[in-house]
Amino acid sequence: MLKRGLCVILIVLLLPTHAVLAESKNDKAYNAVTNVLFDYDGSFQYTTFKVRRGHVDVIFAENTPDTLFVEIVAKLKKHPDIRGVLASKGGRSCALFR
């Protein structure tokens, strides 16, 4: 009975730690994406993104040049704070590329 009580207390104490660790992964990934995109003038006009559990889902404007798309995605994939990248082109057309 005492062992069961100790296990329950231990689990209750460790649950908030798991949530904090997950949050810090998201914060790190979010900061990594914003830093990479900051290097590309106007990138916030032709990209949108979400971060979940350290993974990034980024959508580029449909008319983003392929070379730019590939370059940014490669930098995101290489960043140590980003666990995975899902990228696509399908967002609204951007006036920067017309």
- b/e per residue, 59-83, with b = 16+ CB within 10 A? bbbeebeeeebeebbebbeebebbe
The structural domains of the chain, with segments of one domain joined by +, span 26-97
Q: What is the pTM of this model?
A: 0.76
Q: Look at domain 26-97 and name its CATH class.
A: alpha beta
Q: Which tens digits make up the pLDDT trace of 27-82? A: 999 999 999 999 998 898 999 999 999 999 999 999 999 999 999 999 999 999 99
* Residue environment code for 1-29, b if the CB has 16+ CB neighbours within 10 A, otherwise e: eeeeeeeeeeeeeeeeeeeeeeeebbebb
Q: At what angle do helices 66-78 and 2-38 cross, to 10 degrees?
A: 150
